[in-house]
Amino acid sequence: MLALSGAKSAAASAARGRDVLFCWLLASAALALSGCMPATTSVTPADPADPAAKVARAGYRSTIAPYTSLRPAPPSPWRERNDAVAPPAKQNQ
């Protein structure tokens, strides 16, 4: 039992060593390749401080446009309200 535990521990430490080596190689490759990137890139085509620079128009959309007031209404007779929304009566055949 003790020998099996020792073997598992040795296998785990060997796998952990490979993972650390792989991470170190990956990090060094990323660092080496970062030297190939251009130093600066232009994000904006024009100078933002230029007042004559063309910009897209800002559109306005109301966030509460479909709003309807839901204030309490005085109660109305329930039979008329019920009849107004009820389906039409079927004719006897």
Total number of domains constituting the chain? 1
State if pTM tops 0.85.
no
Q: Does residue 76 form part of some domain?
A: no
Q: Does residue 30 form part of some domain?
A: yes
**Residue 80 pLDDT level (bands cut at 50, 70, 90):** confident
Q: What are 2-49's pLDDT values in tens digits? A: 565 655 555 555 556 678 788 888 888 888 877 777 766 666 667 778
CA distances from 23 to 12, 15, 32, 34, 41 (A): 17, 12, 14, 16, 29
Q: Does residue 70 form part of some domain?
A: no
**Structural domain that includes position 2:** 1-35
Residue 67, pLDDT score: 83
Rounded CA gap, 22 and 29, in Å?
Answer: 11
Q: What are 39-62's pLDDT values in tens digits? A: 666 666 677 788 888 878 888 888
